[in-house]
Amino acid sequence: MCLKKNDRTARNTSIGLKLEKGEIFYILFCFLLYFIWSIAKELNYAPDEEMRYLIPEYIFHTGQLPDGRLPEIRNDLWGFSYAFYPNFLGPLLSAACMKVVSLFTMDSSMLVIAARFPSVLCGTAIVFFAFGIGKRAFGKRGAWIYTVLLSMIPQFVFLTSYVNNDIICILGSVVILFSWVSAFGDRWNIKNGLLLAVGIIIIALSYYNGYGWILASMILFVGFWLCEEYKEKKEHLRMMKIGLLISVVVLVGIGYFFIRNAVLYDGDFLGMEILNEYSEKYADPEWKPSARNTPKNLGLSVFEMLLPTSFSHTSWIIKVFDTFVGAFGYANVFLPNWIYGLYGILFVVMFMGVLGNLRDWVKMRKEVRNKTRKKTLLFYGGMIISFLTPIILCIYYSYAVDYQPQGRYCYPMIAAFFWFGTQGLLWLLKKMKLSESFKTIITVLFLVIVVSVTLFVTWKIYLPS
């Protein structure tokens, strides 16, 4: 289903990626757009930015990682600090950028922009890796569709503009996906193995909702290895060495932060228990975990939360859809309804294409399908795990912890989401009885519309809000 095996001549450069002039121009365009968004708003225009900014600010001033129990970094409303989590990659990058800017100025607004700069860089790096994923999996046309869809959806652009861990997690996911695609066509080797390790480290130190990518990576590494059906012992030893190398690099990259948490918080290496404890102890009465009006505390079922009921006249699904497409500020600055409508139509069309593509694959002659059948099933199994995990966690969080139907919580799956969507759109194009040149014109017009919508949102919605 679109994935292709590389030929032997490409094996020595399986990680290398040559960009064309148009692709370089688009990456620079995205960088500029993301940077403009990042300098346009004051601190705390975006969700939880003030809380998250306290951590790199503390590191910047003290040169040390903060203890989540410190009163100066604890939020008065919620009663806890994000420093309880071991996810320090983002704060460390922000603090480093603040240090650089402090060599020239100590202006507070400039330090905020510096703290946001890693989000801008992560967004730009995602565009780079998206081109790599697309060109390997779909070809040039598909690469442009995949990259533009991923990089231009308004909520993604918003995530590149402020201090948050979501955008860093997305970067980890595309790095991992790039390594999967490389390994699918060229087996696991040291290059794509190290890339996989880097992606795992990025996700492990950024956002728990992205951990499905880590689980899926473990399955795919072993699964791809077994699919090769090596007959010589030295080949299996080589794969064991690569697996050991990946494990060592990951443990070295993340070990200190999780061990530190375990030492500081009596074995709570994830920081979740101590966070809930402090929230219950110090949060305002109505925001304590025990007092929140969650659907679970009110005795409602999950389906009563997802659908329109007396609990919420607008369904959880609609709220998540709207905030997935785009909602700025504290999810209180919305886009015009026609933009949500356009994206709704787009998502339906993508889904139809996915179903058609799946049907064609099932009908494919067995002797053709079986050549890469096991690997393909493993790959898409990993994609489904990575796609569903953030959605399931988002549903659970709204149901049992804090009712916040926000699409950004699902964003760790966006690389998989638009992978499937791109396949669907390419399948529909394939079924059109048109010349290739006319299909190219249709593709270009479609992508111009997607980019134009985001530029309209920038000028008419985001900047004035």
pLDDT in tens, 123-170: 999 999 999 999 999 999 999 999 999 999 999 999 999 999 999 999
Least confident of 2-11, 168-177, 194-203: 2-11
pLDDT tens readout for residues 323-356? 999 999 999 999 999 999 999 999 999 999 999 9
pLDDT on residue 14: 46
Rounded CA separation 66/32 (Å): 33
pLDDT on residue 221: 95
CB 143 within 8 A of CB 134: yes
Question: Minimal CA–CA distance to 187: which of 227, 133, 241?
Answer: 227
| Residue 154 token pair | 């308004």
pLDDT above 90 (res 367): no
3-state class (DSSP) for residue 333: strand
- Confidence band, pLDDT 50/70/90 cuts, at residue 442: very high
Better pLDDT: 275 or 297: 275
The pLDDT mean for the chain works out to: 92
Longest dimension (CA), the chain: 66
pLDDT tens readout for residues 32-85? 999 999 999 999 999 999 999 999 999 999 999 999 999 999 999 999 999 999
- Confidence band, pLDDT 50/70/90 cuts, at residue 7: very low
Rounded CA separation 113/125 (Å): 18
pLDDT above 50 (res 9): no
Rounded CA separation 67/59 (Å): 11
Give percent of the chain above pLDDT 90.
Answer: 80
| Residue keyed to tokens 């505390």 | 297
| Residue keyed to tokens 């480093």 | 96
pLDDT on residue 458: 98
CA end-to-end distance (rounded Å), the chain: 43
pLDDT on residue 1: 54
pLDDT on residue 310: 64
CA torsion 34-336-141-359 (nearest 10°) is: 130
pLDDT tens readout for residues 377-432? 999 999 999 999 999 999 999 999 999 999 999 999 999 999 999 999 999 999 99
pLDDT tens readout for residues 204-231? 999 999 999 999 999 999 999 888 766 6
Better pLDDT: 358 or 55: 55
pLDDT above 80 (res 8): no
Highest mean pLDDT among 178-187, 244-253, 290-299: 244-253
CB 84 within 8 A of CB 68: yes
Rounded CA separation 346/344 (Å): 5
pLDDT on residue 13: 39
3-state class (DSSP) for residue 53: helix
Helical axes 190-204 vs 233-264, angle rounded to 10°: 20
